[in-house]
Amino acid sequence: MSSSSSSQDFVSRPVIKKVFAKLQKEGDGAVVRRGISRSEQKLLDPFLMLDEFSVSPPAGFPDHPHRGFETVTYVLEGGITHQDFKGHKGTIYAGDVQWMTAGRGIIHSEMPEEEVNKGLQLWINLSSNEKMIEPNYQELSHSDIPKTEQNGVEVKVIAGESMGIQSPVYTRTPTMFLDFTLQPGSQIHQNIPESWNAFAYVLESGEGGGVFGSSNSSPISAHSVVVFGPGNDGVSVWNKSSSKILRFVLIAGEPIGEPVVQYGPFVMNTQAEIDMTIEDYHYGKNGFEMAKYWRSQ
């Protein structure tokens, strides 16, 4: 049990919205399921985007910029190679995480390594006083990600803490990112700080398996986002399938409460800051100095 309370007196947050993530094209020939987009940004502050990607060469995400937020890439199958305009380069494989703070500016490419490459990319907003910080990377190999198992529930703690174990990731915007696998018939009660926004994204579910918020609610199928409403305790989830596992990520974060103006891969507080960002990118200023010279290999 992940909660400090017993399951009897644990009151789950309710499910207030379900979104089936439809396929769409992104990057160069890549296909993503966009689970969180602009329409969920208000409900799910500080989260800006969640894509479940599936990409095969020669498709990928060639040279593109970011400013004003963080990208978290969690590989589920295959590998993704990342190169940026400051000479940073690396490949992350299944189970590995790259937690990138774009801050004032990154230009990078994200390209697949194998035949089949799948994973999640989450965009987390930064508060106004952190949007222009120096870019930073936290790279975690699967072996750096703490994992535990109890009563048919396995959790990998990518950010925050659960079931008594804690992630080494530093979150500038306080964030919880948990990867749960529930055996048939098992359940979890996960505490979440009261003021935080929370959602789940279902990766795998048997028919009738994934039940969220209340044990008699209708099951949620794979590739769906489940948005939770407010509550004191956290969330309850049941795997009611008799034979198949339930795998989902549970993501929660402290809302920033500032205006969000997004122009593609730039996320600032005002339109004037977006105009300045486009100018900085175009002329190679204020963090985009290398834009004029750099191309990925």
* CB of 236 vs ligand FJE, minimal distance in Å: 30
> Any contact of residue 80 with ligand FJE (CB under 6 A)?
yes
> Any contact of residue 51 with ligand FJE (CB under 6 A)?
yes
> Any contact of residue 265 with ligand FJE (CB under 6 A)?
yes
Cβ proximity to ligand FJE: between 65 and 206 the closer is 65
Nearest to 181 by CA among 166, 200, 160: 200
Residue 18 and residue 202 in contact, taking contact as beta carbons nearer than 8 Å: no
Q: How far is residue 113's CA from residue 79's CA, in Å, rounded to a whole number?
A: 5
Q: Quick one: which H or E segment has residue 274? A: helix 271-283
> Any contact of residue 90 with ligand FJE (CB under 6 A)?
no
Cβ proximity to ligand FJE: between 67 and 247 the closer is 67
Residue 102 and residue 48 in contact, taking contact as beta carbons nearer than 8 Å: no
User: 3-state class of 232 per DSSP?
Assistant: coil
> Any contact of residue 61 with ligand FJE (CB under 6 A)?
yes
* CB of 146 vs ligand FJE, minimal distance in Å: 24
Cα distances from 53 to residues 31, 102, 119, 125, 221, in angstroms, run 6, 20, 5, 20, 17
Candidate list 64, 147, 172, 244; residue touching ligand FJE; CB under 6 A: 64
For 282, list phi and psi in degrees, rounded to 5.
-65, -45
- To the question of whether residue 82 is assigned a binding role by annotation, the answer is no
Cβ proximity to ligand FJE: between 81 and 127 the closer is 81
- To the question of whether residue 64 is assigned a binding role by annotation, the answer is yes
Cβ proximity to ligand FJE: between 32 and 158 the closer is 32
CA atoms 106, 137, 101, 60: torsion sign? positive
> Any contact of residue 32 with ligand FJE (CB under 6 A)?
yes
Q: How far is residue 117's CA from residue 56's CA, in Å, rounded to a whole number?
A: 6
Cβ proximity to ligand FJE: between 211 and 291 the closer is 291
Q: Which residues define the annotated binding site for Fe cation? A: 64, 66, 108, 110
Q: Residues in the site for ligand FJE, rule: CB under 6 A?
A: 26-27, 32, 51, 53, 61, 64, 73, 80, 110, 121, 264-265
